[in-house]
Structure 1
Amino acid sequence: MKDKSPSGLNEWLHFLKNKKFPVKAVNLSRLKTQIKRTEDTLDGMQANIASDPLLAFAILNEANRIIPNKNSEIKTPFHAAAMVGMNGIAKLFPRFAPYDIKTTQKIPHVAAFLSEIQTSYEAATIARHWAIEKLTSHEDDIFWITLFRDAARWLLWFYAYPTMMSIRQKIKQGEKASQAELSTLGCRIDELTVHLCSHWGTPQKVIESFLTKHIPNAKEMQALAHLAHHPDELPGFTEDKRLTILINNPLIFSYCANKVAHEASLMRWDSKNLPFFYRVVATVMHRRLGEVIHTAHLASTEAATLYNNGGKISLAQQLLDPNLFTGKNTPNQKTKVTLSPISALKKALSQKGDIDTKQKANLALKTIKQAIPNAQHSIIFKHSNNKVSPMFQSGYNIEIIKAILWSSQSSVFEKLSKKRSASHLSGQKLDNLLKDLPHTADQIIDTNSHLILASTQTSKNEMAIFWLETRTEFNEKDYKNLKQIVSLISHSTP
């Protein structure tokens, strides 16, 4: 395994595009046997193909790759198998990586992979039921489109488990999924999926389920949700032509069901984000909100019966929790989610209201210790009335810090005290700056030092100056985290 995870869209594409599809060993072995036996037919293989999503996905992609007429795209794996034929299916075997569910289910990345697949089946079943309720006649297509739009996620969980766990933890701590993905992967998973699907030859409808040409953008989702604002009333109708087109495109069921299933799986059925998607679907179906929710719950019970692979507790089982909608937690449940250090700082500042510079600095230093572990030494100064004085420090000898003439002439501190700024210094750049630091401050700088300096106004007449130093090195994340901390304690004028 590589020590360094990929970063950015191109690196993740390179990492994943040629990865073998994980397939249950028993399913792959059975399919090989069926193909060898002359008496077996493709009809007899349907159950085996459908029982393993990546097996079905590979066959579907192959069929769409070889058909000459793109206007008659194949959307179901059964139709795809008929087009590819037994010989064509046999040629796909080298693309699969068999795994034994009995011996590997307890391995974290396999368990997470199976869990993600189960959530995708739940999403697909919800989308199918919504499509049936609207009488779209596309329910089978929508089922497979919804299922396969998660294919890239399955591979990420199987081949990049630690990275996906990092994203999940950030989301649980309150970070938006888009931000968590960008900060961890360097790209959005949806963006990565579209490129991978294009590489694999996936049906265009799966790709379209990600594109705002075919599904609503954020503003349009808000408009659709607003039409179902009153839960006891039927949603209103839109006069917007674009919204009317989107409402009549069944891909909206695929998109919303995917969001609902993943949100419920991660944050439970009582997540405050679910009603938004229910309202959108209520508008699309022109049904009351309760009917939409009932259909989603009913579909989850069907998914638990038909597609429970043991990867996780099903969404249907979660509905049986007697405390689900009461706001109470069972003894075995965590009462709260641990916030990230920066999120905790934000919460603390909002709860304390109007606090002075010293209190802000104290909270900031505590956050720095947690969010920037590379900072071996830290000082936070207060600048007021043309004087600079240390408020808090960590890691240095306190007597040395007291002996330094921090208010002496310094072009560096003068600049920091006049406007909000931040800079990361090391090597020759830091050496050149030493003479411009306060008198004798250079004694706490080592030849290997990295120094981050930052400042911000913390009250009407006061500035806070941050001094973070390490004998190893700071990375980009450290620098970014400090800027976030500085921003949070900044003084805002009414």
Structure 2
Amino acid sequence: MKDKSPSGLNEWLHFLQNKKFPVKAVNLTRLKAQISRTEDTLDDMQSNIASDPLLAFAILNEANRVTPNKDNEINTPFHAAAMVGMNGIGKLFSRFESYSTQSRHTPPHIVAFLHEIQTSYEAATIARHWSIEKLTSHEDDIFWITLFRDAARWLLWFYAYPTMVELKQKISQGEKPGQAELSILGCRIDELTVHLCKHWHTPSKVMESFLTKHIPTSKELQTLAHLAHHPDELPHFPEDKRLTILINNPLIFSFCANKVAHEVSLMGWDSKNLPFFYRVIATVMHRHIGDIIQTTHRASVEAATLFNTKGTIPLALQLLDPYLYTGKKAPKPKSDKISPIAQLKKALGKHDIYDTKQKTNLALQTIKQAIPNAQHCIIFKTVNQKTTPLYQFGYHADTIKKIKWNAPSSVFNKLTNARSAVHLSGKKLNGLVKDLPHTSDQIIDTNSHLILASTPTSEREMAIFWLETRTEFSDKDYSKLKQIVSLISHRTT
């Protein structure tokens, strides 16, 4: 914004309705490449579409714009992509604003934008788990509805960062969100979202998740929470017919999960407001409150694994920190412990009959301990110019299997013919992506740091190491990998 922030519903609508959707530059580049390649299909593009929420959101909106069907709406981006087709997706590129997080100093509005997206992913995962537990058969729809109901909030953080910082400060100081939004924005974000969704042709289910016709009012939520007042007892069933209808509508999961995730993001897991929503969901699912809390925590751990945008620390990490609320400091590890690399050297020294699979397995365990910055790792075995993944962690196994690792690659050709090691990032990595095996670019991000190394592990076999992170590898990390690779190297006598 230039001089004065918009104020009121109409001004914010005018400000946001024609704004482009921010999408990661790497995802746009990859999607354009996939559309241009004749051998790629919509199925191959699914992971790329799902990796960027506003990319998926735009495709979903476009499908509902060109193929209106009120009786059976298109509620998932994959269904939408199939309806729109590659040509339809290609026409959407002008609606996107690309951004990059490659810089060491990512602008604060992008960090806040990514933070908000991660919170939305966590809300969507919680809603999905609740839905699965109740056996509603709507879990996929609920995931996307919950995720996309925050789309307007994402744009506000991206395009109106100073205003949203002011709003967040008021809420963190104890002011109710609705009152803070009215005083800072001049309207409610929920109201603004519904109007924007109409403009974007978003499926009506997303808009319905804001309407009291489909979700409980504040008074009705109080009634539902009261039915689960005793933690050790199963909740009572509601006698009111409207409440029975509302608790059987999966949209209540979307609404409550959104509240829980945003509350934890702002105030932490010890927020005094969380038990209220746990009790509501306990009544909806007719389960003990403890079961609801357990499902919520398990969902947050899954979200931390699958949807870490690096905009903020995942909510699950708070659950895994036993010193979070005690005020105590975690004990320092003893300094007399043997280092992971020294342990590897000791293990390999016991005898010299380890084969390639055994050596690389030992190396993998060492990497996990010695190089914690490595978020993803693949170890390959090459025999007779054929490269096969042996071990991996951090990636989806199905994704690794689909990549054509034996496709012509000047980088892998060099690795398989001689001992090599290289640390790639930024422009250097972007320039070499085309020389990696075909389709392996789908597991590389613009923020990626990639370390590649290779060594012979027997007279006829080579091992290739692929270490990748979305943060940063240090020179020490690079040096440690070279030590590990050297230790498992085949020695000629």
Whether the TM-score (by the shorter chain) exceeds 0.5 is yes
Counterpart for residue 353 of structure 2 = none
Preserved contact between residue 224 and residue 283 of structure 1 (Cα < 8 Å): yes
1:69 aligns with 2:69: yes
Counterpart for residue 233 of structure 1 = 233
| Counterpart residue identity of residue 133, structure 1 | E
| Counterpart residue identity of residue 309, structure 1 | T
Show CA shifts across 1:61-84 (max 9, x none): 000111142211100000000000
| Counterpart residue identity of residue 302, structure 1 | E
Counterpart for residue 271 of structure 1 = 271
Specify whether residues 105 and 140 from structure 1 end up closer, same or farther in structure 2 by C-alpha distance, changes over 3 A only. farther
What is the CA-CA distance between 1:318 and the residue it aligns to?
Answer: 1.1
* Alignment map for 1:34-433 (pairs within 5 Å): 34-103=34-103, 106-326=106-326, 328=327
Show CA shifts across 1:112-143 (max 9, x none): 00000000000000000000000000000000
* SS of aligned partner of 1:103: coil
* SS of aligned partner of 2:71: helix
| Counterpart residue identity of residue 151, structure 1 | A
Specify whether residues 329 and 208 from structure 1 end up closer, same or farther in structure 2 by C-alpha distance, changes over 3 A only. farther
What is the CA-CA distance between 1:183 and the residue it aligns to?
Answer: 0.2
Show CA shifts across 1:121-175 (max 9, x none): 0000000000000000000000000000000000000000010000100011110
| Counterpart residue identity of residue 296, structure 1 | T
Between the aligned partners of 1:259 and 1:183, the Cα distance in structure 2 is 20
Between the aligned partners of 2:78 and 2:14, the Cα distance in structure 1 is 30
* SS of aligned partner of 1:72: coil
Preserved contact between residue 24 and residue 98 of structure 1 (Cα < 8 Å): yes
Between the aligned partners of 2:180 and 2:209, the Cα distance in structure 1 is 22
| Counterpart residue identity of residue 39, structure 2 | E
Preserved contact between residue 105 and residue 111 of structure 1 (Cα < 8 Å): no
* SS of aligned partner of 1:98: strand
Specify whether residues 168 and 297 from structure 1 end up closer, same or farther in structure 2 by C-alpha distance, changes over 3 A only. same
What is the CA-CA distance between 1:319 and the residue it aligns to?
Answer: 1.0
Between the aligned partners of 2:18 and 2:249, the Cα distance in structure 1 is 32
| Counterpart residue identity of residue 55, structure 1 | L
Preserved contact between residue 74 and residue 80 of structure 1 (Cα < 8 Å): yes
* SS of aligned partner of 1:280: helix
Between the aligned partners of 1:124 and 1:249, the Cα distance in structure 2 is 16
Ranges in structure 2 where 5+ consecutive residues have no aligned partner: 331-493
Counterpart for residue 14 of structure 1 = 14
Preserved contact between residue 227 and residue 237 of structure 1 (Cα < 8 Å): yes
* SS of aligned partner of 1:257: helix
Preserved contact between residue 104 and residue 110 of structure 1 (Cα < 8 Å): no
Between the aligned partners of 1:177 and 1:161, the Cα distance in structure 2 is 17
* SS of aligned partner of 2:102: helix
Specify whether residues 329 and 206 from structure 1 end up closer, same or farther in structure 2 by C-alpha distance, changes over 3 A only. farther
Counterpart for residue 475 of structure 2 = none
Between the aligned partners of 1:325 and 1:257, the Cα distance in structure 2 is 23
| Counterpart residue identity of residue 181, structure 2 | E
* SS of aligned partner of 2:225: helix
Between the aligned partners of 1:6 and 1:207, the Cα distance in structure 2 is 23
Show CA shifts across 1:354-404 (max 9, x none): xxxxxxxxxxxxxxxxxxxxxxxxxxxxxxxxxxxxxxxxxxxxxxxxxxx
What is the CA-CA distance between 1:320 and the residue it aligns to?
Answer: 2.1
What is the CA-CA distance between 1:86 and the residue it aligns to?
Answer: 0.5
Between the aligned partners of 2:104 and 2:142, the Cα distance in structure 1 is 31
- 169-178 vs 96-105, which deviates more? 96-105
Between the aligned partners of 1:239 and 1:208, the Cα distance in structure 2 is 24
Between the aligned partners of 1:188 and 1:148, the Cα distance in structure 2 is 17
Specify whether residues 329 and 62 from structure 1 end up closer, same or farther in structure 2 by C-alpha distance, changes over 3 A only. farther
What is the CA-CA distance between 1:101 and the residue it aligns to?
Answer: 1.8
* SS of aligned partner of 1:272: coil
Specify whether residues 110 and 104 from structure 1 end up closer, same or farther in structure 2 by C-alpha distance, changes over 3 A only. farther
What is the CA-CA distance between 1:290 and the residue it aligns to?
Answer: 0.4
Between the aligned partners of 1:49 and 1:199, the Cα distance in structure 2 is 22
Counterpart for residue 399 of structure 1 = none
Preserved contact between residue 149 and residue 207 of structure 1 (Cα < 8 Å): yes
- 63-72 vs 12-21, which deviates more? 63-72
What is the CA-CA distance between 1:309 and the residue it aligns to?
Answer: 1.2
Preserved contact between residue 270 and residue 324 of structure 1 (Cα < 8 Å): no
* SS of aligned partner of 2:22: strand
Specify whether residues 14 and 330 from structure 1 end up closer, same or farther in structure 2 by C-alpha distance, changes over 3 A only. farther
TM-score (norm 2): 0.66
| Counterpart residue identity of residue 181, structure 1 | E
Between the aligned partners of 2:147 and 2:60, the Cα distance in structure 1 is 12
What is the CA-CA distance between 1:322 and the residue it aligns to?
Answer: 2.2
Between the aligned partners of 1:111 and 1:10, the Cα distance in structure 2 is 27
Between the aligned partners of 1:281 and 1:224, the Cα distance in structure 2 is 8
Q: Higher Cα Rg: structure 1 or 2?
A: 1
Show CA shifts across 1:25-49 (max 9, x none): 0000110111111111100000000
Counterpart for residue 3 of structure 1 = 3
Show CA shifts across 1:160-215 (max 9, x none): 00100001000111100001100000000000000000100000000000000000
| Counterpart residue identity of residue 221, structure 1 | L
* SS of aligned partner of 1:167: helix
Specify whether residues 44 and 134 from structure 1 end up closer, same or farther in structure 2 by C-alpha distance, changes over 3 A only. same
Counterpart for residue 348 of structure 2 = none
Specify whether residues 239 and 277 from structure 1 end up closer, same or farther in structure 2 by C-alpha distance, changes over 3 A only. same
